[in-house]
């Protein structure tokens, strides 16, 4: 990490007015404090009792486009309360006209807390960022007292090597007598280094953890491309645990980065109730299963009766269901993603009766042991948007779940879309939760899914969380509530199918409890729309779960289009999704003439010249069309 770019980062120097030098701080709530400090002689303090106040203490900072920076601060709080993120820091930037262009907003500190370090790494600064500043702040609706000290903004270099264990893709387990080869994809990124590919080499080895013997090794000198695969024979490995170590070096012998992967080998095929197969499908009780559900609050018998009269097959309740309610869910033919997401000692969401890491583990163990054999259990929910700074703890929870219940996967949901790969040790299945309506384009749903598939090289299962709720539910005043609205049927349908077209193998909408409290749209009206979308997905689920190789249809790529090609039972299915509010025309090329093309959405034939292989199809705004192609024998 480079030099700290902030001036007076410890608030040691005072300005003529007694406030901190080099900082733009409103004196009515921010002051320089010489009594409370993390180090040195002073800190910045904030004291506020007005929940409508929203005042920032800021400093301009010169950050370079294309670079990343770590921002950090030590923060102490006393009686900081409210529904927002707490006392924190941010870097944000605007363009030459002053329009917001992005930022980095780490989670803050609430309640009464001793000095806690808050830090995060910014995205690469975009070229349009002209006015950039770091701020200490509490959002509106937050009151209390907070202190900041030992601030830092410093350039960081992205690791020049990243890797992805492509196979095996579930819990790093090589299973059965005839497993697929072990494959690790290696990706080099020399953006932050004065090096070319010709200046670096890659060496790797696979060693037995028990006796540290090397069972396979190799190298590439020089590195041939930014992306390359290391392939090893899984069948040649004996039962046990192995470590794959990949090292990127410069030609002069300096080690630039090293990645390691723990891999286990078991020549038996494990009998598991639920797991992720090599095609990223959930296999539940021996059969492929497409999770289709919604987030819930608490489960009641009355609402369960309503929900069960739909195409949904699972639910994710925030309120952990009792044994009796799990039995009722099973009786309705539904499955549960059971939550243990809050059981992190030291986090703001941890139940107050957990006082240590030992009690944290004991609570998880008790819950898992109570429900791991229940037939309604489908998966465990182990992290809801907790920060990357907790990675060690998050990863420990995933390992606890695997050890306590080898029969069910662990699912997490994050908004931290740029950090999906860094979180990798902490999940078996992942989802993200883009909620763009109305402030952002619906295309954000497909964008998030695509970013995840790219970051994970298509080698992990994704269950996405599309928006069906009205953001007005989460606003504090009538003006802000009036600026929000309920997503339309077309928006919800497009966002769900965008996610599927980009590789999601499960959909869990957010949320059942929100559509009951929407201030503008009656429950029955919104529920009717959502049921219709769920029914359409359910009817397509056998096709979505098919692993037959489709013919080589070439779809012309376009930013407005999300597309998927599947083949099942002598027919090919082309899913086309328009993610914009404008009409567009999809174009694709067939490898041969076809017998027929039918739009499953409306049952109409797709008209084209006899024998034509170049197809054009008009798409209405936010349109979703599933074309069924039947080939000539």
- 554-631: CATH homologous superfamily? Golgi alpha-mannosidase II (2.60.40.1180)
**Residue range 524-546, pLDDT digits in tens:** 999 999 999 999 999 999 999 99
pLDDT at residue 609, rounded to an integer: 67
Residues 125-134 have a mean pLDDT of 95
pLDDT at residue 477, rounded to an integer: 85
Token output for 509: 């909408």
Position 1 confidence tier, pLDDT thresholds 50, 70, 90? low
Give the CA count within 13 Å in the CB-facing half-sphere of 22: 14
Using DSSP bridges, classify how beta strands 429-432 and 461-462 pair: parallel, antiparallel or unpaired.
parallel
The crossing angle, in degrees rounded to 10, of helices 489-501 and 444-455 is 10
CATH class of 274-544: alpha beta
The answer as to CATH 3.30.930.10 being correct for domain 161-266 is no
For domain 30-156, which architecture applies?
Sandwich (2.60)
Query: Does the pTM exceed 0.75?
Result: yes
Residues 16-32 have a mean pLDDT of 86
Residues near 406 by Cβ (< 8 Å), separated by ≥ 6? 270, 272
Percentage of residues of the chain with pLDDT beyond 90: 88
**Residue range 224-253, pLDDT digits in tens:** 999 999 999 999 999 999 999 999 999 988
Between the CA of residue 465 and those of 49, 413, 415, 431, 507, what are the distances in Å?
Answer: 36, 8, 10, 6, 6
Beta strands in 476-545 (DSSP E): 507-509
**Residue range 454-464, pLDDT digits in tens:** 999 999 999 99
Residues 71-87 have a mean pLDDT of 92
Is the pLDDT score of 487 beyond 90?
yes
Q: How many helices (H) and strands (E) does the chain have?
A: 9, 35
Same fold, 161-266 and 554-631: yes
Q: Tell me the C-alpha distance between 529 and 520, whole Å.
A: 15
Q: Tell me the C-alpha distance between 103 and 124, whole Å.
A: 10
Using DSSP bridges, classify how beta strands 377-384 and 335-339 pair: parallel, antiparallel or unpaired.
parallel
Q: Tell me the C-alpha distance between 314 and 308, whole Å.
A: 9
pLDDT at residue 75, rounded to an integer: 97
Percentage of residues of the chain with pLDDT beyond 70: 100
Q: Tell me the C-alpha distance between 507 and 446, whole Å.
A: 13
Mean of per-residue pLDDT scores for the chain: 95
- Residue 349: CB atoms within 10 A of its CB come to 11
**Residue range 155-213, pLDDT digits in tens:** 999 899 999 999 999 999 999 999 999 999 999 999 999 999 999 999 999 999 999 99
**Residue range 319-349, pLDDT digits in tens:** 999 999 999 999 999 999 999 999 999 888 8
CA nearest to 21, candidates 40, 39, 44: 44
The residues spanned by each domain of the chain are: 30-156, 161-266, 274-544, 554-631
Between the CA of residue 632 and those of 197, 569, 591, 628, what are the distances in Å?
Answer: 48, 14, 12, 13
**Residue range 347-377, pLDDT digits in tens:** 888 999 999 999 999 999 999 999 999 999 9
**H-run or E-run covering 452:** helix 444-455
Residues 64-76 have a mean pLDDT of 95
pLDDT at residue 53, rounded to an integer: 86
pLDDT at residue 111, rounded to an integer: 92
Residues 271-295 have a mean pLDDT of 97
pLDDT at residue 511, rounded to an integer: 97
pLDDT at residue 612, rounded to an integer: 82
**Residue range 51-67, pLDDT digits in tens:** 888 889 999 999 999 99
Greatest pairwise CA separation for the chain in angstroms? 87
């Amino acid at each position: 990490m480079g030099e700290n770019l902030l001036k007076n980062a410890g608030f040691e120097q005072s300005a003529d007015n007694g406030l901190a030098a080099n900082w733009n701080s409103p004196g009515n709530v921010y002051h320089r404090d010489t009594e409370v400090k993390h180090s040195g002689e002073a800190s910045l303090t904030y004291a506020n009792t007005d929940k409508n106040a929203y005042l920032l203490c800021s400093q301009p900072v010169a950050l370079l486009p294309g670079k990343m920076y770590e921002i950090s601060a030590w923060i102490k709080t006393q009686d900081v309360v409210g529904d927002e993120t707490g006392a924190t820091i941010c870097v944000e930037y605007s363009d030459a006209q002053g329009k917001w262009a992005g930022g980095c907003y780490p989670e803050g500190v609430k309640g009464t807390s001793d000095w806690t370090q808050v830090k995060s790494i910014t995205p690469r600064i975009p070229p349009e960022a002209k006015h950039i500043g770091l701020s200490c702040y509490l959002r509106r609706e937050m009151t209390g007292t907070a202190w900041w000290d030992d601030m830092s903004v410093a350039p960081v270099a992205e690791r020049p090597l990243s890797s992805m264990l492509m196979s095996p893709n579930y819990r790093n387990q090589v299973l059965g007598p005839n497993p697929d080869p072990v494959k690790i994809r290696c990706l080099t990124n020399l953006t932050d280094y004065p090096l070319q590919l010709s200046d670096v080499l890659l060496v790797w080895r696979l060693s037995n953890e028990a006796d540290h013997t090397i069972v396979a090794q190799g190298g590439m000198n020089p590195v041939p491309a930014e992306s390359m695969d290391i392939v090893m024979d899984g069948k040649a490995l004996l039962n046990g645990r192995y470590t794959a170590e990949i090292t990127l070096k410069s030609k002069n012998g300096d080690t630039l980065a090293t990645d390691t992967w723990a891999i286990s080998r078991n020549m038996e095929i494990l009998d598991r109730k639920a797991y992720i197969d090599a095609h990223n499908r959930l296999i539940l009780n021996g059969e492929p299963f497409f999770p289709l559900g919604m987030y819930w609050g608490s489960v009641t018998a009355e609402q369960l009766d309503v929900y069960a009269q739909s195409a949904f097959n699972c639910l994710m309740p925030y309120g952990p269901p009792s044994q009796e309610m799990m039995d009722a869910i099973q009786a309705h033919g539904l499955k549960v993603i059971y939550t243990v997401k809050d059981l992190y000692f030291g986090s703001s969401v941890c139940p107050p009766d957990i006082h240590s890491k030992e009690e944290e583990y004991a609570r998880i163990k008790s819950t898992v042991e109570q429900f791991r054999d229940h037939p309604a259990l489908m998966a465990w929910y182990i992290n809801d948007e907790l920060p990357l700074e907790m990675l060690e703890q998050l990863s420990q929870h995933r390992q606890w779940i695997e050890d306590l219940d080898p029969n069910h996967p662990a699912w997490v949901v994050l908004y931290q879309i740029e950090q999906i790969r860094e979180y990798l040790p902490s999940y078996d299945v992942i989802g993200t939760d883009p909620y763009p309506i109305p402030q952002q384009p619906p295309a954000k749903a497909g964008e998030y899914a695509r970013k995840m598939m790219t970051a994970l090289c298509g080698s992990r299962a994704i269950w996405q969380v599309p928006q069906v709720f009205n953001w007005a539910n989460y606003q504090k005043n009538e003006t802000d509530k009036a600026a929000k609205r309920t997503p339309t049927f077309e928006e919800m349908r497009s966002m769900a199918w965008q996610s599927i077209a980009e590789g999601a193998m499960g959909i869990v909408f957010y949320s059942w409890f929100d559509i009951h409290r929407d201030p503008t749209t009656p429950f029955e009206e919104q529920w009717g729309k959502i049921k219709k979308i769920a029914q359409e997905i359910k009817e397509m689920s056998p096709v979505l779960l098919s692993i037959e190789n489709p013919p080589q249809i070439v779809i012309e790529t376009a930013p407005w289009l999300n597309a998927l090609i599947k083949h099942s039972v002598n027919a090919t299915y082309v899913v086309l999704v328009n993610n914009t509010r404008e009409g567009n025309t999809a174009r694709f090329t067939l490898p041969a003439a076809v017998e027929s093309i039918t739009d499953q959405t409306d049952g109409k034939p797709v008209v084209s010249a006899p024998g034509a292989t170049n197809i054009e199809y008009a798409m209405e705004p936010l349109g979703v069309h599933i074309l069924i192609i039947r080939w000539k024998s």
